[in-house]
């Protein structure tokens, strides 16, 4: 694995060398200066106009951008056990609604009937052992109709899964199978919305597994239901996990005491599927992880009921499922980076929904570096080698900055191995306003984004000084 695996290569993407070069330049600008306002991503007015025309050009298609992004992950997964985390995010650009063109790839929102949003549903690929992010296996980007009728009018529950919006879970999973075919074992991790009987019936096999948080109780082949049966399980063991501090929610770092139960259940086919070819029963393994820490409010206690097709033979297997499910947090960070204080996609001045959607696909590739840093800082081994994430010039500048940002006391010094991404994360976190104290929790993704912005400005200054000295 090398830095090149995380750099977009748009050569031959559009069939037009000039457009390919322009797309490459835009991606590089997004990588160095994360944002969504085109005027800030271009050096001058001519560059700004060129980027607008690029994103409006039909030769630059969503499908080509998705294929370029997902193809890069294929060689990285060979022989590895992989986690593929999925979720959906709504990108709503209603603040720009007076500029938006109608019928341009935008539709109804979850919370309003204005046609100013689209949906993004990616598959984020992580190494199952290290949790290092490797890329994206598949991406579905779509919008609802501007005049979509109520789900009750459409008799949504009676529709086949293939025409429901929830088919996105199966669709992205099946596309991911093709992208990740060289991997060892693949575990697809999804939140409650992915708890679909049709998915458990069609996706799993010896190589592909599901790990999904239960959305609702279900009837079993016995007279009981799933939740009643799970809550009757004996506690198989106890273990502790560290819950990170979250300044946004005023939560301090704590050690959580967890009780874990597990068992096997035969879930009965839902009544609305009785006239289909789906099996009458499906066997799944259930894991219930419940926090029992004293002095923690009920609303803060961790309480997960998970369903998986992995075998659970002992308490260690059950704990692994809980730890893997916790990796779903990383895709939430991806969405957070796209919005507001991150890349600020909702503040874009683009007038076409199609152009905004293509910009988001390019941003997904560019923001991987921030996620790599975030994960590395929490990794005892320091995450990926620094050369896989940063260029040689960036490393040289970071080395100089590290010497200036360190304090005299040990707790204000960078204690990480300089050959790891965690070392660079400490420096960039400090540039972004983080105080450098581990007791305050690790630098967050927005802080790292700010630090990366400052690093970019510093490198521009270094290059300008070199030009002046050699001019």
Per-residue pLDDT of the chain (471 residues; tens, 9 = 90+): 667 778 899 999 999 999 999 999 999 999 888 889 898 888 889 999 999 999 999 999 999 999 999 999 999 999 999 999 999 999 998 888 888 888 889 988 877 667 789 999 999 999 999 898 999 999 999 998 866 665 555 566 778 889 889 999 999 999 999 999 999 999 999 999 999 999 999 999 999 999 999 999 999 998 899 999 999 999 999 998 877 766 666 677 788 899 999 999 999 999 888 888 899 999 999 999 999 988 887 778 889 999 999 999 999 999 999 999 999 999 999 999 998 778 999 888 899 999 999 999 999 988 988 999 988 988 888 988 999 889 999 999 999 999 999 988 888 899 999 999 999 999 999 999 999 887 777 888 889 999 998 998 899 888 888 777 765
Domains for the chain: give ranges and CATH numbers: 212-316 (3.90.350.10), 368-470 (1.10.740.10)
């549903």: which residue's tokens? 121
Which tokens hold the place of 362?
């390019």
Q: What is the DSSP letter of 417?
A: -
Q: How far apart are CA 254 and CA 243, in angstroms?
A: 5
8 Å CB contact between 263 and 305: no
Q: How far apart are CA 37 and CA 122, in angstroms?
A: 23
E runs forming strands in 204-326 = 208-213, 237-243, 254-268, 281-291, 303-308
Which of helix, strand or coil describes residue 403?
Answer: helix
8 Å CB contact between 188 and 121: no
**Spatial CA neighbour of 117 closest among 136, 93, 88, 153:** 93
Inter-helix orientation angle 368-377/445-470, to 10°: 120
- Composition of the chain by helix, strand, coil, percent to 5: 45, 20, 40
Q: Give me the residues paired with residue 420 across strands.
A: 385
Long-range contacts of 413-420 (CB under 8 A, 24+ apart): 416/382, 417/382, 418/386, 419/382, 419/385, 419/386, 420/376, 420/381, 420/382, 420/383, 420/384, 420/385, 420/386
Q: How far apart are CA 32 and CA 53, in angstroms?
A: 21
Which tokens hold the place of 46?
């001519």
Residue 126: which H helix or E strand, with range?
Answer: strand 115-127
Give the end-to-end CA distance of the chain in Å, rounded to a whole number.
38
């990108």: which residue's tokens? 91
Q: How far apart are CA 72 and CA 8, in angstroms?
A: 8
210-226 burial: b if 16+ Cβ within 10 Å, else e = bbbbbeeebbbeeeebb
Which of helix, strand or coil describes residue 92?
Answer: strand
Residue 334: which H helix or E strand, with range?
Answer: helix 329-338
Which tokens hold the place of 421?
């991404």
pLDDT at 146: 67
Helices marked H in 99-196 — which ranges? 167-179
String of DSSP letters for 272-291: GGTTSSS-SEEEEEEEEEEE
pLDDT at 245: 64
């986690």: which residue's tokens? 83
8 Å CB contact between 123 and 137: yes
Q: Which residues contact 90 (CB under 8 A, 6 or more apart)?
A: 109, 110, 117, 118, 119, 120
pLDDT at 471: 58
* pTM attached to this predicted model: 0.91
Q: What is the 3-state secondary structure (H, E, C) of 178-190?
A: HHCCCCCCEEEEE
Strands 133-142, 237-243: pairing is unpaired
**Spatial CA neighbour of 333 closest among 416, 175, 448:** 448
Q: How far apart are CA 359 and CA 139, in angstroms?
A: 14
Q: How far apart are CA 281 and CA 266, in angstroms?
A: 6
């Amino acid at each position: 694995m090398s830095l090149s695996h995380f750099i977009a290569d748009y050569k031959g993407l559009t069939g037009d060398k000039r457009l390919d070069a322009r797309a490459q330049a835009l991606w590089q600008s997004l990588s160095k200066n994360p944002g969504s306002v085109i005027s800030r991503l271009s050096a001058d007015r001519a560059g700004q106009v060129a980027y607008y025309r690029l994103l409006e050009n039909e030769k630059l298609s969503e499908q080509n951008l998705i294929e370029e992004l997902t193809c890069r992950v294929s060689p990285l997964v060979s022989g590895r056990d992989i986690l593929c985390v999925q979720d959906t995010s709504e990108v709503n650009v209603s603040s720009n609604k007076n500029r938006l063109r109608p019928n341009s790839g935008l539709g109804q929102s979850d919370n309003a009937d204005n046609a100013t949003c689209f949906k993004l549903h990616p598959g984020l690929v992580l190494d199952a052992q290290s949790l290092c992010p490797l890329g994206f296996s598949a991406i579905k980007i779509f919008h609802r109709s501007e005049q979509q009728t109520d789900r009750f009018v459409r008799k949504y529950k009676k529709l086949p899964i293939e025409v429901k919006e929830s088919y996105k879970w199966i669709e992205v999973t099946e596309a991911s199978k093709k992208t990740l075919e060289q991997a060892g074992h693949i575990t697809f991790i999804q939140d409650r919305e992915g708890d679909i009987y049709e998915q458990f019936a069609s996706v799993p096999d010896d190589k592909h597994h599901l790990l999904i948080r239960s959305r609702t109780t279900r009837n079993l082949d016995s007279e009981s239901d799933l939740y009643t049966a799970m809550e009757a399980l004996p506690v198989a063991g106890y273990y502790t996990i560290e819950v990170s501090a979250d300044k946004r929610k005023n939560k301090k770092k704590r050690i959580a005491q967890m009780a874990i139960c597990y068992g096997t259940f035969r879930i009965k086919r839902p009544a609305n599927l009785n006239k289909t070819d789906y099996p009458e029963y499906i066997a799944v393994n259930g894991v219930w992880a419940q926090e029992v820490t004293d002095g923690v409010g009920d609303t803060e206690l961790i309480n997960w009921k998970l369903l998986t097709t992995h075998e659970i033979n002992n308490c260690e297997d059950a704990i692994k499922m809980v730890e893997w499910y916790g990796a779903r947090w990383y895709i939430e960070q991806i969405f957070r980076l796209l919005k507001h204080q991150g890349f600020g996609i909702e503040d874009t001045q683009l007038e076409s929904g199609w152009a905004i959607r293509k910009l988001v696909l390019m941003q997904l590739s560019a923001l991987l570096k921030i996620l790599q840093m975030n994960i590395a800082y929490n990794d005892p081994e320091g995450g990926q080698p620094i050369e896989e994430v940063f260029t040689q010039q960036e490393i040289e500048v970071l080395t100089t900055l590290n010497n200036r940002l360190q304090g005299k006391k040990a707790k204000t010094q960078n204690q990480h191995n300089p050959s790891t991404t965690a070392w660079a994360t400490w420096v960039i976190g400090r540039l972004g306003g983080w105080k450098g104290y581990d007791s305050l929790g690790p630098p967050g993704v927005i802080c790292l984004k700010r630090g990366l912005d400052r690093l970019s400005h510093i490198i521009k200054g270094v290059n300008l000084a070199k030009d002046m000295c050699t001019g």
